[in-house]
Amino acid sequence: MDKENLPQSSVTSIEQQGLISQRLTKDGITNESLDFDHLGIEILSVQPADLYEAVSTLKNYGFNYLQCQGGYDEGPGKNLVSFYHFISVDDFHKIEKVKEVRLKVFLKRNSDLSVPSLYKIFRGSDWQERETYDMYGINFANHPNPKRLLMPEDWRGWPLRKDYIQPDFYELQDAY
C-alpha cells in the first residue's frame, strides 16, 4: 500500500517516526518514536517484553556499543525509566549516516519493575544495570550477579527515587 492510500493519521504517524523507529517497525518490533534529543539523536521507547529483541536488532543494524545504561525517576507517583544509549564504533553502518540511538523503557512505579538484562548482548551492561537496580529498584531479569553495587546489601529502599525517605541513621553491623 502506498502513502497516498493510507489514512491521513497513518501517514502523519509514519512521517513522525525517525529512521530507526521505522526500520524496527518494518522488522516487526513494536516501538514508539519519542522524537529527537537536542543533539538530533533519535529516542525510542519499547515495552519491557520487547527490549531484548529490539536491542539484538539494533546490534545487527550496527549499533555495536552500549555507551550508557541508567535509570531515572519522573517523580512521585510517575514512571521509573531505564534508558540506553547505543553507538556504532565501526566505520561501517547498516543504516546510512545514523551513528547513535537512545532507547527508553518506561515502568509504572506500582507494577513489575523488571526488564531483561542485556548482559548476554553487551557485557558492559553488568555494573550499569547493578547501579540502576541499586539506586532505583529496577530489576534486570537474568542478570548474572543481581546484587547491590553501591549501597550495603541490607540497605532498605532506593536512594535516587524522588519519593525516597532517608532513614535517620544507618546501623553498621559487624563493621570490624
Q: pLDDT tens digits, residue range 109-140?
A: 989 999 999 999 999 999 999 999 999 999 99
The confidence score (pLDDT) of residue 174 equals 52
Cβ contact 42:101 at 8 Å: yes
Is the pLDDT at 1 greater than 80, yes or no?
no
Superfamily of domain 3-110: NADH:ubiquinone oxidoreductase Nqo5 subunit (3.30.460.80)
More confident residue, 56 or 4: 56
Report, as an integer, the average pLDDT of 56-74: 96
Q: What is the model's pTM?
A: 0.83
The grid cell for 121 is: 548482548
Higher pLDDT, 95 or 5: 95
User: Percentage of the chain surpassing pLDDT 90?
Assistant: 68
Whole-angstrom Cα distance, residue 38 to residue 137? 29
